[in-house]
Amino acid sequence: MAVNNYPLHAFLLLAVSSYPALADDKADPDKKEPPSCKFCPEYSGWTGWAEAGVGYQDEDDYHFGRYTGEVDEGFMVNASGDATFRGEDGAFMKGQAEDLGIDSRRIRIGGGRQGRYEINLEYDQIPNYRERSSFSPFREQGGVLELPAGWVSGPTTDLMPELGSALHRVPLETKRDRTGAKFSYHPEKHWEVTGFARHEKKDGTKDVGATFGLDQAAILPVPFEYQTNEFGLTLEYAGQKLQSQLSYSGSLFSNDEDSTVWRNPFENASSNTALGQMAEYPDNQFHQVSALVGYQLRDDTRVVARLVRGRMTQDDKLLPYTINPALDPASLPVTSADAKVDTTLAAIDINSRPTKNLSLDASYSYSDRDNDTGVHAYDYVVTDTGPGGTRSNAPYSFEQKLLRLKAGYRFPKDVNLSIGYDDDQRNRTYTQAEDTHDKTAWAKLRLQPLDTLEATLKYAYSDRDSSSYEPLSDSDPSLENPNANFYENPLMRVLQLADRKRNTSGLTLSYTPTSRLSLGFDIDNSKDEYASGYLGLQEAKNIAYTASGAYAFREDLTATLYYTYENLTSDQKGSEKLLADQPDNIWVMSDKYVTKTVGLGIDWTVIEDKLDVGADATYAEFTGDMDFSAGQSLPDLGSKLTAIDLHATYRLSDQLSIRAQLRFEDYNEDDWAKDGYVDTLPTLLSLGTAPQDQSTVLGFVSMRYRF
């Protein structure tokens, strides 16, 4: 892989040239004095706590422990802690450990001298357990996802219960292991140098859709391992009027596999289309240099300017068009895409308060994504089964100019009014519409009509106009074949390129009639209209509101309650027309997604300085409805979650306490993609997952020691 060093050279050059220029000996004669320790705490020695305990989980449940690792039935041991040491001269050490006994563990170790330097080491493990009850006949052998011996010409149903021993369990799970270090150093007054380096490894099994032709699809369990290295260095100056920052950051991504190869479950091993191959994520890298300068022009006016330059590259070797021996496509025009994308961001912000009650803000930014990847003609093959014609790659680029204006004024009696205007212009290449212009005007009013009542109202109107819309088939000669399978209906509009009118509004109320009771209400509403698109999304609406309250029955007993409702609906129009010479067959679909959540929390000090208990309960319900004007509508989607958390702390002494926790979760879902609705599709070999319906209880007891 070619390594691009120009950003690093630029960073070093800027760092060397800028360091003396920003220092001002006359304005700051004592700049070489080290930072003092006048803010260091007066105490010294060790402080912190350590906790360890044992728990028991009554069921295997991937949903319950999806992001924590608490997925297996049985006993578990866990431990956490936090310790800090401070010396009399400002030296310190600190360490943190969280959940050492489960897969979401975290460790932090650091130290330094307050006001001079600090070094930290860190480790994180982040799991994602998606599905344990997945089954597949595929097994990885010699870099190929192979089928069992004796497999003959494909399954007859989706879940394949008759395959018996041909299936084996394939849990869908991933883990991220992240190790890093960071530091900060104050070489002189007003100056700071910071840096970081981080290594991340992500591995596990993912599900990937693969197909031969248009009607021989399989969901593959694909093992993978990704590694990412990130690093950066920042030089910062913070004076009374002038502040500046110069930074470099880089990211290197590597993938152990360049492709996934699988055997077609719908063909005999002797078939010419027995094996398929698709590319994996390529190795790539990103480098970026940024500079920021802020200056206090006057006591009431500040300006900030920043410039950011970056480059993304990847030069992995291209895979052949196909590994199907029955086809003999032309050779590739190049061996590597040699992809290169340069990014630029230039921005300026001005903030001013000319009077006590008036504030003015303005910002302008220019963003450019210049894709300099070469354009070549490829005689590609469709899903390893047949030639697809000649197509050229389209290195997408864009340019954005964004202007934002804001004014705020404080009227008497705690009335605050803010108004603003945003102007967003974008120019794109290799898209159906080259230009879009999005104009947004907004206002927000905050007032307090009563000492106990505060309200905020907001409204915004946005209008996006697009340039003339040209289907890709009109701009690319290779798409002019009237029987092309990739035909694009000229009446269709791509969502982000279509004309759109958007209205959003909101209201927030906060009411505190007594010192014990507080109530809150928040509502947000939005509506998008795509009137110019005959086909595509026509309208989308979203309304969400939350009501909440908190009440203190007495000093040692408080309760909170909230309810949230969200409703998202949309209407879209489409066509089943696949080939240009087919007649239009227009369809209309309406969907509606509703989420309701209610939560309750109670905290009670049963015995002062001795026993605290608490409870948190949550119930969430989701429904999804998709209706077609003609033909069969899809079954409803749904899920319900009930979660209860009971916890208590009993203090045996000032240093030692016992903590107990009991967690309960009940989750079930209705998902037609898993519950047999597609059993009648003999051309899909799925992973045989079933809708989740599980109840799990986890009890935990631990002891915490403070020192």
Query: For 503-521, how does the pLDDT look when each residue is reduced to its tens digit (9 = 90+)?
Result: 999 999 999 999 999 999 9
- Structure-model confidence comparison of residues 126 and 492, the more confident one: 126
For range 629-653, the mean pLDDT? 91
Residue 414 predicted with pLDDT over 50: yes
The residue with tokens 């963003």 is 367
- Structure-model confidence comparison of residues 574 and 188, the more confident one: 188
Q: What is the pLDDT of residue 48?
A: 96
Distance (Å, rounded) from C-alpha 337 to C-alpha 314? 8
Q: Which amino acid is at 278?
A: M
For range 573-581, the mean pLDDT? 71
> In this prediction, what percent of the chain has a pLDDT beyond 70?
86
- Under a CB-based contact definition with an 8 Å cutoff, are residues 392 and 375 in contact? yes
Q: Place 707 in a pLDDT band, splitting at 50, 70 and 90.
A: very high
State the alpha helices, DSSP H only, in 490-605.
none
Residue 435 predicted with pLDDT over 50: yes
Residue 128 predicted with pLDDT over 90: yes
- Structure-model confidence comparison of residues 433 and 615, the more confident one: 615
For range 605-627, the mean pLDDT? 96
Residues 6+ apart with CB under 8 A from 321: 327, 329, 330, 332, 378, 379, 380, 381
Residue 16 predicted with pLDDT over 70: no
- Structure-model confidence comparison of residues 36 and 642, the more confident one: 642
Distance (Å, rounded) from C-alpha 695 to C-alpha 644? 11
For range 232-236, the mean pLDDT? 98
For range 558-583, the mean pLDDT? 86
- Structure-model confidence comparison of residues 579 and 701, the more confident one: 701
CB neighbour class for 235 (10 Å; exposed up to 12, middle 13-18, buried from 19) = buried
Average pLDDT across the chain, whole number: 87
For range 59-86, the mean pLDDT? 95
Q: What is the pLDDT of residue 165?
A: 66
- Under a CB-based contact definition with an 8 Å cutoff, are residues 158 and 683 in contact? no
Identify the CA nearest to 436 among candidates 408, 481, 398, 407.
Answer: 398
Q: What is the pLDDT of residue 150?
A: 73
Distance (Å, rounded) from C-alpha 79 to C-alpha 87? 27
Q: Place 556 in a pLDDT band, splitting at 50, 70 and 90.
A: very high
Sheet architecture: strand order including 139-141 = 139-141, 144-146, 259-263, 275-279
- Under a CB-based contact definition with an 8 Å cutoff, are residues 428 and 398 in contact? yes
Range 14-28 burial, b when 16+ CB lie within 10 A, else e: beeebeeebbeeeee
For range 621-640, the mean pLDDT? 88
- Say how many Å lie between the first and final Cα of the chain, rounded: 53
**58-72, 126-140, 169-183, 270-284: lowest mean pLDDT where?**
270-284
**156-170, 225-239, 256-270: lowest mean pLDDT where?**
156-170
pLDDT digits (tens, 9 = 90+) for 467-506: 988 877 665 555 445 444 556 677 778 888 889 999 999 9
Q: Are strands 275-279 and 517-529 parallel, antiparallel or unpaired?
A: unpaired
Residue 204 predicted with pLDDT over 80: yes
Separation of CA 602 from chain center: 32
Does an H or E element contain 327, and which?
none
Distance (Å, rounded) from C-alpha 556 to C-alpha 452? 24
- Structure-model confidence comparison of residues 35 and 401, the more confident one: 401
Nearest 5°: phi and psi at 17? Answer: -80, -25
Residue 2 predicted with pLDDT over 60: no
Integer CA distances (angstroms), 357 to 458, 461, 650, in order:
20, 26, 52
Q: What is the pLDDT of residue 701?
A: 98
For range 322-340, the mean pLDDT? 87
Identify the CA nearest to 542 among candidates 495, 503, 572, 573.
Answer: 503
Distance (Å, rounded) from C-alpha 129 to C-alpha 288? 34
The residue with tokens 């599709």 is 681
Distance (Å, rounded) from C-alpha 351 to C-alpha 357? 14
Distance (Å, rounded) from C-alpha 647 to C-alpha 641? 20
- Structure-model confidence comparison of residues 272 and 645, the more confident one: 645
Nearest 5°: phi and psi at 73? Answer: -65, 145
> In this prediction, what percent of the chain has a pLDDT beyond 90?
67
* DSSP-derived secondary structure for 295-307: EEEETTEEEEEEE
Q: Place 677 in a pLDDT band, splitting at 50, 70 and 90.
A: very low
Distance (Å, rounded) from C-alpha 163 to C-alpha 687? 13
Q: What is the pLDDT of residue 581?
A: 67
- Under a CB-based contact definition with an 8 Å cutoff, are residues 535 and 574 in contact? yes
Residues 6+ apart with CB under 8 A from 418: 406, 407, 408, 409, 443, 444, 445, 446
For range 179-199, the mean pLDDT? 97
Does an H or E element contain 14, and which?
helix 6-22
Residue 534 predicted with pLDDT over 80: no
- Structure-model confidence comparison of residues 493 and 526, the more confident one: 526
Q: What is the pLDDT of residue 474?
A: 60
- Structure-model confidence comparison of residues 416 and 584, the more confident one: 416
Q: Place 152 in a pLDDT band, splitting at 50, 70 and 90.
A: low
Q: What is the pLDDT of residue 579?
A: 62
What does DSSP assign to residue 20? H
Half-sphere exposure of 500 (CA within 13 A, CB side): 23
**21-25, 306-310, 570-574, 640-644: lowest mean pLDDT where?**
21-25
For range 4-14, the mean pLDDT? 38
Identify the CA nearest to 423 among candidates 441, 396, 450, 397.
Answer: 441
For range 222-249, the mean pLDDT? 97
For range 160-180, the mean pLDDT? 82
**28-37, 324-333, 649-658: lowest mean pLDDT where?**
28-37
Distance (Å, rounded) from C-alpha 574 to C-alpha 584? 10
